[in-house]
């Protein structure tokens, strides 16, 4: 395992779990925005030159999917142009680069799991800029792309914690039921990232998500059920399914973004999303 590893987005969900699960002996570089600003090419270059990392995990991104529609230039700088700078460093310093990407690079229209080599067709600015980041990462011979989906954690802001907050405040919740995907616990995703960096197989692109498929409505039901059983909720709201067209958003979402995972290539077991959710909620409960 490479020892001096730069993790961008270290304060985010994945960044947190990458730090928690880092291999023994790793020297992690987890700069804040004041040290390395992904929206500022000069900032990135200066940091790389000063620190000379031996591997890079780019877990940082512009992830405000709806806001990206009104801030396309900023999203492009962070999700695309910044990766090009990282890839250039990777190529010239023989430095492995893992670019964490998203199911949003697909249009969600095919109705069965996407393979790693299928044609991409993002339907939002966020998806388009993340695809630009993939393309940039792969310009380096040591660039690898790891796509994931519906990430959540006990750390940071995410769908699980939003549902818990709303369930404590409201008697009724309407949840989109016609968008289908695979929730992924950030701790499991971190394991996949470290495994990829350790194995470094020849394949250039990988998919990782927890096993199983559900809608956002199914996911919300499971969150409420499991949280109620653990005592994280002292009241149960009524949950109802909702169509995407009844809840318009600035950015279009893929209706089906399930991906065929690369677990076999990464020598990883399949963990069902419901089991992973239970693990996360148990950890959250123990913190309270």
Catalytic residues: 126
Q: Are strands 97-102 and 4-8 parallel, antiparallel or unpaired?
A: unpaired
| Positions of E strands within 34-170 | 55-58, 97-102, 143-148, 151-152
Distance CA 17, CA 204 (A): 23
Q: Are 105 and 134 in contact (CB under 8 A)?
A: yes
Q: Among residues 257, 261, 262, 251, which one has the least CA distance to residue 106?
A: 257
* Rounded CA separation 209/114 (Å): 12
CA distances for 7 relative to 10, 71, 115, angstroms:
6, 25, 27
What lies within 8 Å, CB to CB, of 66 at 6+ separation is 249, 250, 251
CA angle 57, 12, 266 (to 5 degrees): 40
């Amino acid at each position: 395992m490479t020892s001096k590893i730069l993790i961008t987005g270290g304060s985010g969900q994945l960044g947190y779990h990458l730090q928690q699960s880092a291999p023994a002996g790793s020297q992690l570089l987890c700069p804040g925005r004041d040290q390395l600003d992904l929206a500022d090419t000069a900032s990135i270059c200066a940091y790389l030159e000063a620190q000379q990392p031996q591997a890079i995990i780019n877990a940082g991104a512009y992830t405000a999917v709806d806001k990206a529609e009104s801030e396309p230039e900023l999203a492009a700088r962070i999700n695309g142009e910044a990766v090009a700078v990282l890839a250039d460093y990777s190529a010239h310093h023989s430095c492995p680069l893992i670019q964490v990407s998203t199911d949003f690079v697909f249009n969600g229209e095919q109705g069965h799991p996407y393979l790693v080599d299928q044609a991409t067709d993002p339907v939002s600015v966020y998806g388009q800029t993340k695809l630009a980041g993939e393309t940039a990462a792969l310009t380096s011979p040591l660039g690898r792309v790891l796509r994931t989906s519906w990430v959540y954690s006990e750390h940071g802001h995410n769908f699980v914690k939003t549902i818990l907050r709303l369930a404590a405040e409201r008697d009724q919740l309407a949840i989109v039921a016609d968008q289908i995907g695979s929730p992924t616990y950030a701790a499991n995703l971190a394991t996949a990232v470290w495994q990829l960096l350790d194995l470094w197989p020849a394949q250039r692109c990988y998919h990782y998500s927890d096993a199983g498929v559900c809608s956002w409505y199914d996911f919300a039901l499971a969150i409420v059920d499991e949280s109620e059983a653990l005592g994280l909720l002292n009241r149960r709201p009524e949950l109802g399914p909702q169509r995407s067209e009844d809840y318009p958003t600035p950015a279009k979402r893929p209706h089906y973004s399930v991906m065929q995972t690369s677990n076999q290539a990464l020598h990883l077991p399949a963990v069902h999303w419901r089991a992973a959710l239970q693990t996360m909620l148990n950890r959250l409960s123990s913190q309270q």
